[in-house]
Chain A
């Protein structure tokens, strides 16, 4: 009888989390994550009011993160310069004049620092002494507290698979922009750009300005998609925009991509081979919602703002948590983002109630992504991996088949997305654990959007209803020894148990209620679990 001896209960569970999670290592009035236009403007605005401000930005990321395509799709096209992080911090600092202004304003600017977790008490979590942001560099991790936090985390690359897309030299527009500007460490010379919207046109312009050759822009739709003035400017520079055209393959050599093979979207027209060392996918970017997602912010699907986006517009997204810039919705100029950053900073400091200006453009981004994905799927063998890390092909994803290292007994051949749909709507979390798509070391940066869209298409649902895979902390891959809390609080060490620390849980059944039960408890200090 469990309660025959109530003396053993003290009203306290020594193994519960209560009081064991420490407060933050440092505190600021305002923490700003991301030093793009919105984040820099927010930090400067806050500092001007006398607030203590921390501005963190992960750039320059380590060469190892770049190799995992974190946070951008760098495609292995960086020079050796990125190996020297200290030198790169100087480079990144010099590339942005506002950093000097930020230092002078007394802002604690920390570059090369990853923000990997954001926690606040909420449903089923009451153990935190305060809201906290998790930070890390290459050596260690720590936490910071704040009165308010502004997430200005920007956007990351949209990746879509085609034959050869896993080769070095296939990259995203954000990755290329970063390597050409902030890092000055791009290792390519001749680029084929996929897409013809403003993103692709701006990418072409930047590449030309940096002295690169732009072999062509490729567009699956019948006409260029971006601002006509930008289209004209790119064409005037001698760059051809191939419309109704799709990439069919990327022949490669020892250094990765050597060419892009293009052909018509429909029919069996002639294939053309364009020599290049880089293929830059500039179809779209995706708001970087990782931190808001792990903090419990509500995420919705909205095509014009960039797909999976915060339900909140720029401004307050959660109590004490504010968002600004691309992560709150795509489609703003640098000036608009900066204005938004300033307004959100004032709101975060309680100086203004007004919501920031939020004016997304009218693009149907999801429809454009879908047009690209459908065109690529029609010319890409279904054996091509959609998930590079876990080597999951499109066929295996839609067949809901296990990874290659497992047997595939006969019965599994009868299972597919179609049979799974008989049980209910497709669930990306369920399917990713069965197929392992989205489970790899890049934390699904290269595959989550296309996997969601493929599942929607396979379910005959509009892409707006594509299932979403949630983010999990750490939202940047961090080595065990870096993530580890080596200065752990005494309370944590004392109260640690493998499981719940319920002393009666592990008594061998035959010994329950016998003298031997007491003997085991005595010998093991109340914990019998391994």
Chain B
């Protein structure tokens, strides 16, 4: 494996959180890695999301839990990681729902405490009289997405990895059943192995290679308030919302209906937000009545890809056998310390050392009907740009 300006041992397409974590893990193993991105690192949903890190459903979750408390130290840059989460209910239906989840997590060995209304108000000072109680996850946590993405990028560079921004991958070159290079406007970069972690753009990059990756993209929205007094647990949500209080104090929350959109090989043409901000504001005001007087100072939307079953695809292909594809199906930020590790293992060793992820293989969609999006009602509303 040679290091040259025109190539790398491993090229990662996509400087989102999954691609950057993979690059970081590869660089930690001494691999010469080059990351290509159409824009700036973490520009899409990787840096604009709820920042949650409590995805107990994933086979990567134990590794995620092991890694997060170490990340600031290992990366060398602050991620704002904070432990644990509190979920509070403002309706009986929500409380019942959260209690069931508490039981489900308990069965898996993750500790969840049920808290009554008074405990909830003590733990969450901004909660109100409408709070009926909730659950306290003694695991998981949250971090700052933008800061974490940048930390992966900088840490990768510190280990000798390279990141090329504003350098979109146009086409993957193959020869003899292997990916041999990536064509970009800045020339062709050769590689011995390839990681395709380009979010919604994965499908378009892989289709010319005869690999069908079923993905549908959608737009989702969040709002942010001015800072509130810091709460002991910033990872507070519930009432149909996901989100957190940042270390600065801002309340950042999302949730609610999404809009399915067409994907463009060049990336999203726009990321418009809508009057949905009003519905989000209502739910935040209900969740945290003590914050209802705080100003909302911005909203934004992000473009997120989903697989047909909403579960990740992390797979080293059989053809071309030196290509690993990775999409986290809209739940990638929190799991990133572990997804990068899994990708590193697949690229270097051909199999994941720390977890069994067979059910995340692309082959589960082999007999997916062509109209799978329409079946699910996932067809885009907007006319193509």
A interface residues with partner B (beta carbon < 8 Å): 1-3, 6, 9-18, 20-21, 68, 117, 119, 121-128, 132, 134, 141, 143, 294, 296, 390, 402-403, 405-407, 409-412, 415, 423-425, 427, 429-430, 433-434, 436, 440-441, 443, 472-474, 477-481, 483-486, 488, 492, 495-500, 502, 504-510, 512-513, 520, 523-525, 527-530
How long is the Cα–Cα vector from A147 to B36 in the complex, in angstroms? 45
Interface pair A10/B261, CB less than 8 Å apart: no
Classify chain B's interface size: 35 or more
Contact of A484 among B78, B248, B268, B282 (CB under 8 A): B282
User: Does B255 lie within 8 Å of A498, measured CB to CB?
Assistant: yes
Distance in angstroms between the alpha carbons of A53 and B264 in the assembled complex: 40
Asked if B40 and A124 sit within 8 Å, CB to CB, the answer is no
B122 within 8 A of A: no
Nearest opposing residue in chain A for B376, CB measure:
A9
Bitwise interface map of B from 356 to 380 toward A, beta carbon under 8 Å scored 1, else 0 = 0001000011011100101111101
- Decide: B278 and A483 in contact? CB cutoff 8 A: yes
B292 touches A473 (CB 8 A): no
Contact (Cβ within 8 A) A472 B273: yes
Known contacts A122-B382, A480-B294; A127 and B259 CB within 8 A of each other: yes
Chain A's closest residue to B289 (CB) is A481
Asked if A485 and B279 make an inter-chain contact with CB atoms under 8 angstroms apart, the answer reads yes
**Given known A-B contacts A17-B258, A504-B311, A124 and B278 have beta carbons under 8 A apart:** no
Q: Judge if B354 is at the interface, Cβ distance under 8 Å.
A: no
Point out the residues of chain A lying under 8 angstroms from B154, CB to CB: 411, 415
What are 17 A-B pairs at a CB distance below 8 A? A126-B380, A128-B274, A411-B154, A411-B158, A412-B76, A412-B78, A430-B146, A473-B298, A479-B293, A480-B282, A483-B296, A498-B241, A502-B306, A504-B310, A505-B329, A510-B108, A524-B97
Q: Which 8 A-B pairs have the closest CB atoms?
A: A505-B310, A126-B382, A126-B381, A502-B310, A13-B377, A477-B295, A123-B385, A484-B282
- Whether B276 and A2, one on each chain, are in contact in the complex, defined by CB atoms closer than 8 angstroms, is no
Closest B-chain residue to A6, C-beta based?
Answer: B375
Q: Closest residue to B369 on the A side, CB-wise?
A: A3
Identify the B interface with A (CB < 8 A): 40-41, 43, 47, 54, 56-59, 72, 76-78, 80, 85, 87, 97-98, 100-101, 104, 108, 146-147, 150, 153-154, 158, 163, 165-166, 218-220, 225-227, 237-238, 240-242, 247-248, 255-261, 268-279, 281-282, 284-285, 291-300, 303-304, 306, 308-311, 329-331, 359, 364-365, 367-369, 372, 374-378, 380-383, 385
What is the distance, in angstroms, from B97's C-beta to the closest C-beta of chain A? 6
Q: Are A434 and B146 in contact (CB under 8 A)?
A: yes
A13 and B297 contact, Cβ closer than 8 Å, known pairs A21-B275, A128-B274, A423-B41 = no
Q: Which of A402, A478, A492, A530 gathers the greatest number of chain B CB atoms within 10 Å? A: A530
* In the bound complex, CA of A427 to CA of B37 (Å): 15
Known: A423-B41, A505-B331. A125 touches B240 (CB 8 A): no
Select the residue from B260, B285, B296 with max chain A CB neighbours within 10 A. Answer: B296
Cα distance, A434 to B40, chains bound together (Å): 13
Nearest CB of B to A347, in Å: 25
Determine if B306 and A500 form an interchain contact, defined as CB atoms under 8 angstroms apart.
Answer: yes
A-side contacts of B270, CB under 8 Å:
122-125, 296
Q: Which of A128, A472, A525 is the most central at the interface, judged by chain B CB atoms within 10 Å of its CB?
A: A472
Q: How many Å from the CB of A422 to the closest CB on chain B?
A: 9
Q: Is the CB of B78 within 8 A of A1?
A: no
Nearest Cβ on chain A to B28's Cβ, whole angstroms: 15
Contact of A520 among B104, B247, B381 (CB under 8 A): B104
Task: Flag if A409 contacts B57 (CB, 8 Å).
Answer: no
Contact of B282 among A1, A3, A412, A488 (CB under 8 A): A488
In the docked arrangement, what's the CA distance between A264 and B73, Å?
48
- Considering the complex, give the chain A residue whose CB is closest to the CB of B93: A525
Separation of A15 and B377 alpha carbons in the complex (Å)? 10
- Distance, CA A36 to CA B296, complexed state (A): 27
CA distance A443 to B250 in the complex (A): 13
Q: Which of A409, A477, A512 contacts B297 (CB 8 A)?
A: A477
Chain A residues near B165 (CB, 8 Å)? 423-424
Chain A residues with Cβ below 8 Å from B100 are: 523-524
> What's the minimum C-beta distance from B203 to chain A, rounded to whole angstroms?
16
Q: Give the contacting residue for A530; candidates B98, B158, B298, B306; CB below 8 A.
A: B98
Q: Which residues of A contact B284 (CB under 8 A)?
A: 480
Q: What would 17 more interface pairs be, CB under 8 Å, given A18-B259, A477-B226? A: A1-B367, A2-B308, A11-B375, A124-B272, A127-B274, A127-B381, A405-B248, A406-B78, A412-B78, A430-B150, A434-B150, A443-B298, A485-B275, A498-B240, A499-B330, A508-B108, A524-B97
Q: Which of B85, B153, B241, B377 has the most CB of A within 10 A?
A: B377
Chain A proximity of B301: nearest CB distance (Å): 8
* A390 / chain B contacts, CB cutoff of 8 Å: 248
